[in-house]
Structure formats: C-alpha cells, structure tokens
C-alpha cells in the first residue's frame, strides 16, 4: 500500500489493489510462459485462454444471454458515438437521442452526420441536473434505435429507470456505470463502455450487442468500424488491446469472487448513500442533481462559493484525497466512487468534509 492515495478521479480511476498486485507479480512471467502478456502474441494459446476467460466471466457477471456478442475493442466510448450510427442506421436512417449531458450531446451530434437524428428530450436547460421522463410514445416508431447515456459522469446523474422504447432497440453508453450495479442486458440492443472508469486501464472498450443488430452496416462503412468484422474475428480481427483485456479479466474474477453484481451494487449503494446523506445534512454542501436521479458512481457537490470549492479540493489533496475537482466545464467537486474505491475512502472523505465544514462555516 505504502503511499497510495484515495483517488476520486472520474477516469482513468482506481483499480482493485489485488488486481494491481497480481498484474505486478505476473509481469515478468505470465503463467510459466517466461514473458508478460504485454509481450505475447495475441494468437498464442495462452492469450486465447485469457480473452476467452474474460468474456465468459463478463457474461456470468452481467448475465449476458447467448444471443448477444461481447466485443473487446479500441477507440474508447467516443468511437462508439460514430460506430453506433454507422452500423445501426440501416433501415429508416432515423434515431432518437435523449441528451442528459455533454457525452450524450456529443453522441447525438456525431450521429447527426449519418442520419436523421432527433433529440427527444434534454435536460440542458437545468445544466443537466436531472433525467427527463420519457415513454414509448415519445419515440418515432420507425426509428432504428434510441440512444441514452445511462450514467452522466460529469453531472452525477443516472437513469432511475430504463426507458420503454416499444419495439425500437435501446442503445446505451454505460461507461461510468458498467459493473457497478445489476443492469438487465435484455432491455438493450447494444451496450458500450470505455473500460477506464470501472474495468481496466484506458485502451479497451467493451461492446455488448444483440446478434440481430449486427450485419446491417452499409457497404461503404470502413471494415474496422463494422461490428461484423469484430464479431466474425472474435475481437481479434487485428491485434487487440491484450494488456487491458488481461487486467479486465482479473477485475472480473475479483468481482465474481466478491459475490457478483448483487454484492457490488449493495456496497455501492451504501457508499453513495452515506455520502449523499452527509451532504443532505450539512449546512455547507449541496448536491445539484435531482434526488431520485443521483449517480451511485459520481457524486457531484458544491459549497456555492467557487473560491471555497477550490480550497476544498486543494486541502483534501493534502490529506491524500485526490482528484476531487469537478469537471472543468462545471467546477465544484466530484467524488467518483467506482467499485475499486474502498468504503474506507468514502468514510475518510466524509470525515474531511466535516472538518472543512466546521472550519469554514
Ligand atoms: C468518459 C466517458 C466517455 C468518453 O470515453 P472515452 O473512452 O474517453 O472515449 C463517454 N461517455 C461517458 C458516459 C463517459 O463517462
């Protein structure tokens, strides 16, 4: 442990200590191969086992049915803002987006290059402080898909419900919530997530896509951006991000050993619940996000005085509580408390908040 800090960064973010330990231990000699995963052919038997185990364990954790592919890709969640419309706008060329933050807005704007995109609902007028309520009748029935951003990393909001889209497939950016709670994969046509929030180092993107959603890309879609290339190549059409997949696999094993997503969700609800309860009861801090829409992963709060916020972040850093500054677009504070943030880290943060409040009220 030594001088490790409590890192509240929104991403890249903390990884479980036992996974870092394992990776460090195996870095010179993975499983008797005499080399590390970083140096190993992705076509080797040893690596095949790593990627197959990772996929199987992710399927177990998220209860992913057999009629879905699991892909390990590169390009971040951002490349999915392009790949989703490039692949899925094959029928009517229409898609409906709900805009609940900067990432959702980027996804919608990118999609508009490829088809007829309608923003069905947005909470921009409130600086994205809540999740709009929508129902099936709000969507175009001939849309090729509906897109939502399940957890809004910057604003600290999260869907308290999965929108009913009727027969239209639902697509979600799950980057900052994947594996933090149980999510019913069957409600979605496609789920994507950059790994660096809750799974692995940056450089890996997980895509979970229903099999019937793949294969409809127009002929002029670049081969690398067609999901079919990657489903047919079992995520190994070209060299995959092998190291990230290995670390992701170790994280999956840890989560299964710890009792799966039911346990993880219970722990995350407890961590976030304690923090929000403290904020609610305090005189100095407030959380801008609507209460029922509050994120379990990114807890956004302010004192109301930008200069005091800055001092909070600086003094917290002195105590080994780092990266508590809000996103550069909104300021204030943000505590990202992903799976790997121990309960102790949250308790230390609350203790610091109390001390800071006592000194500054
Ligand atoms: C971080 C984040 C992104 C961007 O991810 P990259 O992997 O850097 O492209 C997109 N969406 C959400 C919700 C995020 O939190």
Q: Does ligand 1 lie within 6 Å of residue 76's CB atom?
A: yes
Which atom, in ligand 1's list, is nearest to the CA of 79?
A: 9
Check pocket membership of 336 for ligand 1, CB cut-off 6 A. Answer: no
- Give the angle 344-306-277 at the CA atoms, nearest 5°: 35
Pocket probe mutation, ligand 1, options 153, 156, 203, max atoms within 8 Å of Cβ: 153
Mean per-residue pLDDT for 14-31? 96
Provide the residue count of the chain. 361
State the pLDDT at residue 3: 86
Q: Is the CATH number of domain 18-257 3.40.50.300?
A: no
Average pLDDT along the chain: 97
Model confidence at 128, pLDDT cuts 50, 70, 90, reads very high
Contact present, 146 and 98 (Cβ < 8 Å): yes
Cα–chain center distance at 356: 30
Q: Dump pLDDT digits (tens) for 252-261.
A: 999 999 999 9
Q: Where does CATH 3.90.1150.10 sit in the chain?
A: 260-359
Kind plus residue range of the DSSP H or E element containing 311: helix 306-318
Q: What is the dihedral of CA 18, 150, 334, 336, to 10 degrees?
A: 0
Is ligand 1 within 6 A of the CB of residue 175?
Answer: yes
pLDDT of 132 higher than 70 = yes
**What distances in angstroms separate CA 69 from CA 192, 230, 255, one per listed residue?**
12, 10, 21
The answer to whether 243 is a known catalytic residue is no
**pLDDT more than 90, % of the chain:** 98
Determine the residue of 11, 74, 326 to mutate for testing ligand 1's pocket, defined as the one with the most ligand atoms within 8 A of the Cβ atom.
11
For residue 1, the model assigns a pLDDT of: 57
Query: Rounded to an integer, what distance in angstroms lies between the CA atom of residue 302 and that of residue 61?
Result: 35
Percent of the chain with pLDDT over 70: 99
- Domain 260-359 fold is 3.90.1150
**Distance of CA 194 from the midpoint of ligand 1 (Å):** 6
CA 154/CA 325 separation, integer angstroms: 11
Say what the pTM is.
0.98
Out of 111, 176, 298, give the residue to mutate to test ligand 1, the one with the largest number of ligand atoms within 8 Å of its CB.
176
Q: What is the pLDDT of residue 223?
A: 97
- Between strands 298-301 and 333-336, the pairing is antiparallel
Distance 278 CA to ligand 1 centre (A): 28
Q: Is the CB of 78 under 6 A from ligand 1?
A: yes
Instruction: Say how many C-beta atoms besides its own lie within 10 A of residue 109's C-beta.
Output: 14
Distance set, CA 34 to CA 29, 38, 50, 239 (Å)? 4, 12, 16, 21
- Of the candidates 96, 144, 173, 293, the residue annotated as catalytic is 173
Tell me where in the chain the CATH 3.40.640.10 domain(s) lie.
Answer: 18-257
pLDDT at residue 317 is higher than 90? yes
Q: How many CB atoms lie within 10 A of CB 213?
A: 21
3 state DSSP class of 337: coil
Query: pLDDT tens across 275-316, in order?
Result: 999 999 999 999 999 999 999 999 999 999 999 999 999 999
Tell me the two tokens of residue 261. 């997503």
List, for residues 196-210, the tens digit of each pLDDT value.
999 999 999 999 999
Instruction: Indicate which residue's Cα is closest to atom 11 of ligand 1.
Output: 103
Specify the ligand 1 atom closest to the Cα of 11: 1
Residue 95's φ and ψ, nearest 5 degrees, are -145, 145
Residue 187, pLDDT above cutoff 80: yes
Nearest-CA residue for atom 2 of ligand 1: 175
Residue 296 Cα distances to 150, 192, 312, angstroms: 11, 19, 22
Q: How far apart are CA 16 and CA 288, in angstroms?
A: 30
Ligand 1 atom showing the smallest separation from residue 80 Cα = 9
Tell me which residue of 107, 127, 130 sits closest to 117, measured CA to CA: 107
Q: Are strands 157-158 and 151-152 parallel, antiparallel or unpaired?
A: antiparallel
Q: Are 229 and 271 in contact (CB under 8 A)?
A: no
What would the DSSP string read from start to end of 203-215? T-EEEEEEGGGSS
User: Which helix or strand (DSSP H or E) is residue 191 part of?
Assistant: strand 190-194
Active-site pick, 96, 144, 197, 243: 197
Ligand 1 centroid distance, CA of 46 (Å): 31
Closest CA to 173 of 188, 184, 186: 188
Beta carbon of 194 within 6 Å of any ligand 1 atom: yes
Give the pair of three-digit tokens for residue 312.
Answer: 């909070």
User: Using CA atoms, how far apart are residues 343 and 274, in angstroms rounded to an integer?
Assistant: 10
Surface-to-core class of residue 131, CB atoms within 10 Å of its CB (0-12 exposed, 13-18 middle, 19+ buried): buried
Residues with Cβ < 8 Å from 272, sequence gap 6 or more?
A: 294, 295, 296, 297, 299, 337
């Amino acid at each position: 442990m030594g001088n490790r800090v409590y890192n509240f960064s929104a991403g890249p973010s903390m990884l479980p200590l036992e996974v870092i330990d394992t990776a460090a231990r195996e870095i010179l000699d993975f499983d008797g191969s005499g080399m590390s995963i970083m140096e190993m052919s992705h076509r080797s038997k040893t690596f095949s086992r790593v990627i197959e185990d990772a996929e199987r364990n992710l399927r177990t954790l998220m209860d992913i049915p057999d009629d879905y592919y699991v892909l390990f890709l590169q390009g971040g969640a951002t490349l999915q803002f392009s790949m989703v419309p490039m692949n899925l706008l094959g029928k009517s060329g229409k898609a409906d987006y709900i805009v609940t933050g900067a990432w959702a807005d980027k996804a919608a704007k990118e999609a508009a290059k490829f088809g007829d995109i309608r923003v069905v609902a947005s909470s921009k007028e409130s600086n994205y402080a809540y999740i709009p309520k929508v129902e099936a009748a709000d969507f175009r029935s001939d849309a090729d898909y509906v897109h939502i951003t399940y957890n809004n990393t910057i604003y600290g909001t999260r869907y308290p419900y999965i929108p009913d889209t009727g027969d239209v497939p639902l697509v979600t950016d799950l980057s900052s919530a994947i594996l933090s709670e149980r999510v019913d994969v069957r409600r979605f046509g496609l789920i994507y997530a950059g790994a660096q929030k809750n799974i692995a180092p940056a450089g890996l993107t997980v895509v979970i896509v229903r099999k019937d959603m793949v294969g409809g890309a127009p002929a002029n879609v670049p081969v690398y951006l067609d999901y079919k290339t990657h489903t047919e190549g079992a995520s190994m059409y070209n060299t995959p991000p092998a190291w990230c997949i290995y670390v992701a696999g170790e994280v999956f094993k840890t989560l299964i050993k710890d009792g799966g997503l039911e346990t993880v969700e219970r722990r995350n609800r407890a961590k976030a619940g304690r923090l929000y309860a403290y904020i609610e009861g305090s005189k100095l801090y407030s959380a801008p996000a609507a209460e029922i829409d509050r994120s379990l992963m990114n807890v956004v709060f302010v004192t109301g005085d930008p200069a005091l916020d800055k001092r909070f972040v600086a003094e917290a850093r002195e105590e080994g509580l780092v990266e508590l500054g809000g996103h550069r677009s909104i300021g204030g504070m943000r505590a990202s408390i992903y799976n790997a943030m121990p309960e102790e880290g949250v308790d230390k943060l609350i203790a610091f908040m109390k001390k800071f409040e006592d000194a500054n009220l």
